Amino acid sequence: MLLETRGLVKQFGEFRAVDGVAFRVQDGEVLALIGSNGAGKTTLVNLISGLLRPDAGSIHFRGADVTAQSVHERIGAGIARSFQLVNLFDQLSALDNVALSIFSRQGKTRKLWALAEADRPVWQEALEILATFRMDAKAAVPAGGLSQGERKLLDVAVAYALKPKLLFLDEPTSGVSTREKSPIMDTIASVVRSEGISAAIIEHDMDVVFGYSDRIVAMHQGTILADGTPEQIRRDERVLTTLIGTPEAR
């Protein structure tokens, strides 16, 4: 077991966004987290990644209780994430964005007395990561000047550069044209699978969900409604009626 949450609760006023969730991620699996807007998917990811503190319950990562740990410590342990609304350093080039993750991962951002630009291995690795995401041609372009699809990929690349063991991807294809979706997902899936990184993808597009995941977790009103293989989820009556809408959705 890579990650396990026990009885996780997050309340916003009277509203229970996450309500006693027991969520698990196995080593090396790619899972999809589905559910309608407000089901609690992003809140769950925010709790696990450390952006929010839970009101109750605990989070265990590789056997250690990380509930009280800071974002910094969780990243050190191997939990990274991308963002639904692309979250980059827009004035920095694509290469700089990725390089910063590498500097941070290697603990070099603590160095005041060294020139960042002189650290060749870091820039070399940053370029290789961009190449992995087929973004090397855009290395010098400021992140703010990239297309939406490229920004989405760069957001993932920045998280990937932290060498995580578990990567949360919050809607990696939202706001991207239908035509661009599968190349983006192909790239992400091949990177994640070849490196053996566990990934949890929040997604609304059912083609993406069924096409790229080993396991699907469906959330509804802050709780887990169903958890199973794509085949099981496809036949799950509750999921079909509450989330997908019609029994013939797929």
Partner 1 sequence: MSTAAVTLPQRTHVRTLSWAIPALVILVALPWVAGEYQTILLAYGLVMGIAALGFNLLLGYTGLLSFGHSAYFGVGAYTVALMVKYLGVTSMELFLVGAVGACVLVTAIFGVACVRYTRIFFGILTMALSQVLWSLAFKFFWVTGGTDGLRVPTPTLLGVVAGKGDKIAFLATAYYYYVLAIFVVCVAVMWVIVNSPFGRALQAIRDNEVRAAFVGIQIRKYRWVAFLVSGVFTGLAGALWVPLNGLTTPDIMHWTFSGEIVFMTVLGGFRSFTGPVIGAIVFNYLKTYAVGYTVYWQLLLGVVLVVLVVSLPTGIVGSAERLWARRRSR
One residue of 115, 194, 196, 248 binding partner 1 per CB under 8 A: 115
Q: What are phi and psi of 183, to 5 degrees?
A: -60, -40
Distances (CA, A) of 8 to 19, 40, 198, 237, 239: 6, 11, 21, 26, 22
CB 5 within 8 A of CB 50: no
From residue 162 to residue 191, what is the string marking binding to partner 1 with x (rule CB under 8 A)?
x-----------------------------
One residue of 7, 26, 111, 238 binding partner 1 per CB under 8 A: 111
- Find the radius of gyration of the CA atoms of the chain: 18
Residue 116 binds partner 1, judged by CB under 8 A = yes
Q: Write the burial class of residue 38 (CB in 10 Å: 0-12 exposed, 13-18 middle, 19+ buried).
A: middle
Q: What are phi and psi of 187, to 5 degrees?
A: -60, -50
**Closest separation between CB of residue 104 and partner 1, Å?**
4
Nearer to partner 1 by C-beta: 26 or 124? 124
**Cα 217 from Cα 233, distance rounded (Å):** 8
**Closest separation between CB of residue 62 and partner 1, Å?**
17
CB 193 within 8 A of CB 162: no
From residue 124 to residue 143, what is the string marking binding to partner 1 with x (rule CB under 8 A)?
x-xx---x----x--xx---
In the complex, which residues of this chain contact partner 1 (CB under 8 A)? 49, 51, 70-72, 75-76, 80-81, 83, 87-92, 95-96, 99-101, 103-105, 108-120, 123-124, 126-127, 131, 136, 139-140, 158-159, 162
